[in-house]
């Protein structure tokens, strides 16, 4: 598929009902290559991961601004260069079986997803004050490492400044706005940022919101839903994708719905 095609058109065909949140993060350490491999093994066709920067400007996968929760490091992610971050253990906190799992770079992540034929939702999760720089580095990384002719990953963020940078430097890369609550202001922001998707807290989604967005041609994605019954209700409401820590559970409960992607 030519990634220069209208991203609004192609995103509908590409989205899958299940997106593995930070990889298969209920059964493997979040935002690691192990979690991405497990997501693929559990039948997911899409993964969502969080991207921030090392001190020296390399895009890595990490959710928190601090290292403590998901690695054996201490302090702020932004205080460390990539060669220091690369030595940390990002698996043992989750389970000893994952000891030695590393913080992946975005480049390593892209290579793995390409090898596994996974689609990706890259969430820009900038450390404080690095909204612009993180977006610019991500765009540069994609421009350098993403194969021509393949649809771009879907780039989302809560950080409006980051999405503005992506729009400025790479308007062809599809953008999704992440929000907690679907206010009118948030919906207006979709137009301003020229976003193709809305990613909303599942607790705040309504049938009305989904149909309002459908009228503008934009799918709604919901995070984070691990209960298969809740996931089924949301999909029946018209939500396009459920972002879940448990792709295997939703996959088996929803069965054939996963087959919708062409």
* Residues of this chain that bind Mg ion (CB under 5 A): 50, 123
Give the rounded distance of the alpha carbon of 215 from its chain centre.
24
Give the rounded distance of the alpha carbon of 108 from its chain centre.
15
Query: Which positions from 153 to 182 touch ligand G3P by CB under 6 A, shown as an x/- string?
Result: ---x---------------------x----
16 binds ligand G3P (CB under 6 A): no
Give the nearest residue (CB) to Mg ion.
123
21 binds ligand G3P (CB under 6 A): yes
Tell me how far apart the alpha carbons of residues 38 and 112 are, in angstroms, rounded to a whole number. 12
Give the nearest residue (CB) to ligand G3P.
223
Select the residue interacting with ligand G3P from 46, 94, 152, 223 (CB under 6 A).
223
94 touches, from ligand G3P, Mg ion, none (C-beta below 5 to 8 Å by class): none
Nearer to Mg ion, 20 or 136 (CB): 20
30 binds ligand G3P (CB under 6 A): no
Tell me how far apart the alpha carbons of residues 64 and 7 are, in angstroms, rounded to a whole number. 30
Positions of E strands within the chain: 18-21, 46-53, 59-61, 119-124, 154-157, 175-179, 197-201, 220-223, 241-244
8 Å CB contact between 239 and 210: yes
Place of tokens 């192609």: 10
Give the rounded distance of the alpha carbon of 201 from its chain centre.
14
199 binds ligand G3P (CB under 6 A): yes
Cis-peptide into 162, omega within 30 deg = no
223 touches, from ligand G3P, Mg ion, none (C-beta below 5 to 8 Å by class): ligand G3P
Known active-site residue 169: no
50 binds ligand G3P (CB under 6 A): yes
Q: How far is the CB of 128 from ligand G3P (least distance, A)?
A: 15
Tell me how far apart the alpha carbons of residues 115 and 218 are, in angstroms, rounded to a whole number. 29
245 binds ligand G3P (CB under 6 A): no
Known active-site residue 63: yes
Q: Among residues 3, 63, 132, 145, which one is catalytic?
A: 63
Nearer to ligand G3P, 97 or 246 (CB): 246
52 binds ligand G3P (CB under 6 A): no
Residue of 262, 254, 117, 159 lying closest to 138 (CA atoms): 159
Q: Known catalytic residues? A: 21, 63
């Amino acid at each position: 598929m030519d990634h220069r095609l209208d991203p609004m058109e192609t995103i509908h065909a590409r989205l899958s009902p299940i997106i593995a949140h930070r990889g298969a993060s209920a059964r493997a350490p979040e935002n690691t290559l192990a979690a991405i491999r497990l997501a693929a093994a559990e039948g997911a066709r899409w993964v969502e991961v969080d991207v921030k920067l090392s001190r020296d400007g390399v895009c890595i996968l990490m959710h928190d601004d601090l290292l403590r929760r998901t690695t054996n490091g201490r302090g702020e992610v932004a205080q460390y260069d990539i060669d220091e971050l690369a030595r940390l253990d990002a698996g043992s906190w989750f389970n000893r079986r994952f000891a030695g799992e590393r913080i992946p770079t975005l480049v390593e992540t892209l290579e793995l997803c390409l090898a596994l034929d996974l689609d990706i939702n890259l969430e820009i999760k900038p450390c404080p004050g690095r909204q612009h720089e993180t977006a610019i580095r991500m765009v540069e990384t994609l421009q350098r490492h993403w194969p021509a002719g393949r649809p771009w990953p879907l780039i989302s963020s809560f950080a409006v400044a980051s999405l503005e940078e992506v729009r400025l430097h790479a308007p062809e890369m599809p953008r999704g706005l992440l929000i907690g609550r679907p206010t009118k202001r948030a919906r207006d922001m979709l137009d301003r940022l020229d976003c193709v998707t809305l990613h909303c807290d599942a607790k705040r989604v309504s049938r009305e919101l989904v149909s309002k967005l459908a009228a503008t041609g934009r799918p709604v994605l919901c995070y984070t839903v691990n209960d298969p019954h809740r996931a089924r209700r949301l999909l029946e409401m018209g939500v396009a994708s459920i972002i879940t820590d448990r792709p295997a559970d939703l996959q088996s409960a929803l069965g054939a719905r996963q087959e919708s992607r062409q």
